[in-house]
Amino acid sequence: MNAREIILEVAHLFGGYEEQEVLKDISMSVCRGEILVIVGRSGCGKSTLMRYLLGLSKPWSGAVHFEGEDIWGESMDVLRRSRARWGVLFQSGALLGSLTLLENITLVLNEFTNLSLKEMELVALRKLETVGLADFARSYPLEVSGGMQKRAGLARAMALDPEVLFFDEPSAGLDPVTSSELDHLIRSINRTMGTTMVIVTHELASILAIADRVIMLDGESRGIIAEGTVRQLQVESSDRRVTAFFGRESLNASGVTSDVNGSE
């Protein structure tokens, strides 16, 4: 962490809904070029934290800094500038059903660039090619599979060549094979393009496949209870909440130990 550049930083963040506190004194950092995965059981505040990171909701207190600037500072210009450098893949894919996959991407380019229609279509086609969907550019979302919709949503999130990509449960609703293919694509984009990624998920297979570093939230304590590589959390942690999440506790109960990949 100390040797790498911090691109996104949260300092002493508190937040929740109405008077129900969900997150308590959250401090964390995201390094440029890494894949940081935020994990935890349902209801622990993962999606709430993501909303604060994206500037969709303002925390009760604390700060979210992007490249050293507080996105919730006195001026909203910082948040607007930051959003232009981010991409988001929402859980549902959030594609517009009345537009083709190509049009879903050109819609973003039309709003944020001065490119001609031909130039926008060329860019959109390149993004679809990156996720393996160039042959489906003229298809509508309902004409392709759920996994293809997720990949199209990823192509749209990449339309403006973002420095940071945010994912909210990217594998939700996908079968194991399709989920694995999406994990491989995410990892490939990170490695070839150097894109920083922040991913919220509870899918253990995806965590093992893509995470450079993991932060684990706990609903009862309303804070971060573990941070480190997958191996550190899965093998070295003595916190029962962590070992239960990664499956080590049940394995130890039967006298069997596992490595990072879950093999005996």
pLDDT of residue 246: 84
CB 169 within 8 A of CB 202: yes
DSSP letter assigned to residue 3? T
Distance, CA of 139 to CA of 124 (rounded, Å): 13
CA 102 – CA 123 distance, rounded (Å): 10
Phi, psi of 79 (to 5 degrees): -65, -40
Place of tokens 């130039």: 119
Q: pLDDT value at position 255? A: 38
Q: How far apart are CA 41 and CA 222, in angstroms?
A: 12
The pTM assigned to this predicted structure is 0.87
Lowest mean pLDDT among 26-30, 45-49, 135-139, 172-176: 172-176
Q: Which residue did the predictor score with more confidence, 212 or 73? A: 212
Q: How far is Cα 112 from Cα 158, in angstroms, rounded to an integer?
A: 13
- Residue 159: strand, helix, or coil: coil
**Which of the pair, 34 or 111, is modelled with greater confidence?**
34
Q: Please check the confidence at residue 258 and state whether its pLDDT lies above 50.
A: no
pLDDT digits (tens, 9 = 90+) for 37-55: 999 888 888 989 999 999 9
Whether 57 and 18 have beta carbons less than 8 Å apart is answered as: no
Spans of all domains in the chain? 95-162
SS3 85: coil
- Contacting residues for 4 by C-beta, under 8 A, at least 6 apart: 31, 32, 33, 34
Q: What's the average model confidence in pLDDT over 108-131?
A: 94
In this predicted model, what pLDDT tens digit does every residue of 117-128 receive, in sequence order?
999 999 999 999
Q: Which amino acid is at 180?
A: S
Low-confidence winner among 48-57, 111-120, 135-144, 238-247 (lowest mean pLDDT): 238-247
Can you tell me the distance from the alpha carbon of 217 to that of 221, in angstroms, rounded to the nearest whole number?
A: 8
Total Cβ atoms within 10 A of residue 175: 12
H-run or E-run covering 164: strand 164-168
- Residue 261: is its pLDDT beyond 80? no
Averaged pLDDT for residues 88-110 = 90
**How buried is 187 (Cβ within 10 angstroms: 0-12 exposed, 13-18 middle, 19+ buried)?**
middle
Q: What's the pLDDT score for residue 253?
A: 39
The pLDDT-based confidence of 248 (bands split at 50, 70, 90) is low
- Which of these, 243, 211, 209, 210, lies nearest to 225 by C-alpha position? 243
Q: Which residues pair with 80 in a beta bridge?
A: none
Q: In what order do the strands lie in the sheet with 86-89?
A: 86-89, 164-168, 196-200, 35-39, 213-218, 223-228
